[in-house]
Structure formats: C-alpha cells, structure tokens
Structure 1
C-alpha cells in the first residue's frame, strides 16, 4: 500500500548483496519512514495525551466549500517530518463538538486531525462521505497546516451517520489509508468494493444503530480479503463515542498508526487483538495484517 514497503525491499536487497556498511545496525523489513514517536506501550496508547504537543486552529464555514468548517488539531513540532491526516465527521443532528475530544487525543499521537461540521445537521451518510472528502482536500491542499501533512496518507472517521459517511468515503476514494466508523449508521450494508483498511467500532447497548443491523453487517459487507477489524464495546451505547473513551482511543490510534503510518509497531494491539473484558464485548479481524 505504501512506498515504505518498496523502500524496505530495497534495503533488504542491499543487505543480501553485501551493500550495507559493515557495523551498521540490522535493518528491519517492518521499518517505515512514517513512524512517529517512541516505541508504543499499552500505557502510551491508553494515555489521554501522547508524546506530541499540539495546537488548534478554527476553520470558518465561510472560508470553505463542500462542508461546514471545523477545527484542526496538529502537532506543533515538525522535527520528525510530516504527518498523516485524519478527518472526522459528527453524527445526525450533531456538531463537531460531539467528537471534539478525539482531536487533541489523536493529534498528540502524531496526526493532523480535522473535526468538521457538516453542511446541515440532517445530512445523510452519502452526503457526509462527500463532505469528509471535501474536508480532506481542503486540509491537505489549502489549509494553513498543509505543509505539515503528507497528503498521500489520509484517513476518515465518523460517528453514527458520520460513521456511515466514512464507509461511503472509503468506497469513493480507494486512496484513503484507513476508515473508522464509530457506532455507524447507514442504510447501505454492503461495501464489497472497499479496499481501505477499516476498523468497525460498535456498542453492545446501541439502540439507535444496533450492531446486529449496522456494525456487524458493515464488517461482513466488506471484502473477506480486506484488512478489517470489528470491535464491539461492552456496556456502551450509541453515544459512547461522544465522550472521552480509552478503548475507542486505544484501538483507533493503533489502527491509524498501523495503516496511515505503516507502523507495524502497533500491530501488537490489533493482532490477535483485545480479549473480552469489562470494556470489550467482542473482537474479530482478518489478522495477520
């Protein structure tokens, strides 16, 4: 999916032909030039804030087209290079404030994050999908932080109808690196053309978008050959993603790191994945990734 794999292959070829300098450290085929931050630990991915200091910028709806403005959260240092980007949509009748907690939390782990408002609070998933892509194009092409972003590494997330919108965006734009619907809602259940690595997060107590008729069919409706995972939260509701949640953050961070940054250091949290617990009702995936 990423150029790093080509780079790793080149390094491996040099090693096999004796082209690496004597005394150099061993090369790893899993190394990615997009790795950002120190080696992860369970504590680091569960922390409320990661290793990067962050700042935020408001984006007025009057200055953009195709979506309703929003807030950009970004790492203040560029010492490690550019970052991947994540665009997040709220759900039906909701505003960006409902998913704002994800902004600084993800940005502090080494992403530029854009929480958006939609054109109207009643927009359906297909519209929200288009708006996620419009926001991604603005973020990577016109925003004041565009120089901090590697525009080839973009992911989408969303809550409820915004989650359904993230699936629509992934279907429309195969170049996306990851999608994460959070207690997603969509009348469409089958996404057999989607090739974007997708983490579906549902909630066992969801009565608005019950997992039996939304999140589980979404997972099953993705190609069996796809890189995908299904995480069902235990003791959670449709609105659990609207408040700070360690389980959602932990596995979203791991998924984004693995696919947006091609950082296999985070595979440990996804394969085999979490065991059943007070916070996890079910987990399944197409491991190994």
Structure 2
C-alpha cells in the first residue's frame, strides 16, 4: 500500500489576517482597559493646548451660593460644579482671595476650572484682614464643608482635594498644605507670607509669581517659597512675564492652563496632562519656569 506523506495545513490568507486584526484589537482594548483601571479618575477627553487654553472646558457647569450664616470657620462663598455625574465623582478645590479682597476677585477661576471637571469653591474669609495662617485654616474648613455637608458633597471624591489662593490667600494655601499633607495639590498665586520655608509640605505645589510684582516681589516671596519646599517634592515655579501682583484677579490664560494641568496631573492623577508641564514650558508669557521633572506623583 502506498503511504501518503502528511501535509501541513495553512489557513487561508484572509483567515490569518482576520486573526491578526482580532489580536490587535484585543491588545488595544486590553491596554485601554488596563489604563482606565490604573487611572480611574480621568475626566473628560484627551487634552490639547486649545482645550486647556479655552475659556470653558468640556463640562457644563452650575453654581450655588453658600451664605456665611450657614457655615463655620470661613465666610461662605460660591460653589461651581459640573452638572453631569456620568463620569463619576470629581476632585475639589477651595480658593481664597487676598488681603482686603472678596471672592469676586478670584471668581473667574470658578467656572473655568469647574468646566474642566472639578468642584470649585471660591470663598470669602471671616475678615478681609485675615493673615495667611488663618486663610489656610479657612481653606481647610471650606473643603470640610464641601465634602461633609454641602449640597454637592455626593459629587466629590473626598480623597482628591486641593487648595489655591491669591496673595495672602496664596500664602494660606501653603499653610493649608503644611497642615494637611493629604491634599493632592496646592497653587499659590502671587503668594504673600512672612514664612518662607515649608519644608514639611508633601503636597505637589505649583508656585505662580509675577515678574513685576511690587507687593510680593518674587525674590522675597514666590522664589523663596519654591526654594523652601522640599527638594524631593513634585513642585514647579512659574513666573508671569511683565505681570503685576494683581494678575490673578482677572481672566488669565497662562494661569488657567497651567493650573488646570497641575490640578489634573495631581488631583486626578491624569498623566495625559504631563505633556504641558514636562519638559518645562516656554513662551513670551513666561519669564521663568522651574520644575522637578519628571514627576513622581
């Protein structure tokens, strides 16, 4: 009997191509699922320079007023928040005004940051003359109110919180970060404080100074704050070119885009925003920038 030599069977080309495509889709889907699992706090579409410079982000927002008579520890304020909860809870940021100022001086930041996917609380202080340490305590009291009893508390992840502030409010944001290491981000805006060294701060901090600041000159305030933070901390120093102490009191694209990037990077752990912070940004609006890239947080 004649024996036949066995032959190796090969699938048709179209079958092999389909299998390869299926494998690619599976790998891509698996990678996307893994990324989402590793970073569950991403909110909104992938960012672009245009999206972080825009006056409004992808989220529709609403606001509610908080009377000083209904709270303790600070002077009330306005809460700005995304109207949709389809993507889950959001991080939250409390913002303090500066010496003698009210929340209206920093109100532009409310809807601008909230529309990027944050709950934002611009506060009034107990007294317009409160010093930085007091403003720091009031920022923390405002965050406690937001997460504990505010009308939007169910929209907030209490473990993803940050602070900002202008002038003495900026100094207050450093005080708050020192007092509460669990904060995820701090951004002093042309900050003022007699204390310069915050060596125990563990909160990623973006210091924003102004080149022509005559109230809190960068050489004795913002630069000193940056240098006085731990060398191992995720920190940055951005100096606004040709800007005064009061630059944060009006809509400012440079302040907004890098504040958004910092808050997204550290409150949301959204590494999609790292591209705007590292390598160090350059441009005519920035007279100096320092950073501890690459970020560890």
Q: What is the CA deviation profile of residues 192-223 of structure 1, one whole-angstrom value per residue up to 9, with x for unaligned ones? A: 00010000000000000000000000000000
1:30/1:264 contact within 8 Å kept? no
1:22 Cα deviation after fit: 5.5
Q: What is the TM-score when the length of structure 1 is the normalising length?
A: 0.91
Q: What is the TM-score when the length of structure 2 is the normalising length?
A: 0.89
Residue 111 of structure 2 aligns with which residue? Answer: 104
Return the index of the structure with the highest Cα Rg.
Answer: 2
Residue 195 of structure 1 aligns with which residue? Answer: 202
SS in structure 1 of the partner of residue 159 of structure 2: strand
1:224 Cα deviation after fit: 0.1
Among residues 247, 262, 268, which one is paired with 2:269 in the alignment?
Answer: 262
Matched, 1:25 2:30: yes
Matched, 1:282 2:288: yes
Matched, 1:127 2:134: yes
Residue 14 of structure 1 aligns with which residue? Answer: none
1:235 Cα deviation after fit: 1.0
Please give the alpha-carbon distance, in whole angstroms, between the structure 2 residues aligned to 1:222 and 1:132. 20
SS in structure 2 of the partner of residue 66 of structure 1: coil
1:34/1:261 contact within 8 Å kept? yes
Please give the alpha-carbon distance, in whole angstroms, between the structure 1 residues aligned to 2:85 and 2:206. 28
Runs (4+) off by over 3 Å: 21-24, 27-31
Please give the alpha-carbon distance, in whole angstroms, between the structure 1 residues aligned to 2:37 and 2:246. 37
Among residues 81, 84, 108, which one is paired with 1:77 in the alignment?
Answer: 84
Matched, 1:214 2:221: yes
Please give the alpha-carbon distance, in whole angstroms, between the structure 1 residues aligned to 2:136 and 2:35. 37
1:83/1:110 contact within 8 Å kept? yes
Alpha-carbon RMSD across the aligned residues, in angstroms, is 1.3
SS in structure 2 of the partner of residue 25 of structure 1: helix
**Number of corresponding residues:** 268
Please give the alpha-carbon distance, in whole angstroms, between the structure 2 residues aligned to 1:166 and 1:28. 32
Structure 1: runs of 5 or more not aligned? 1-20
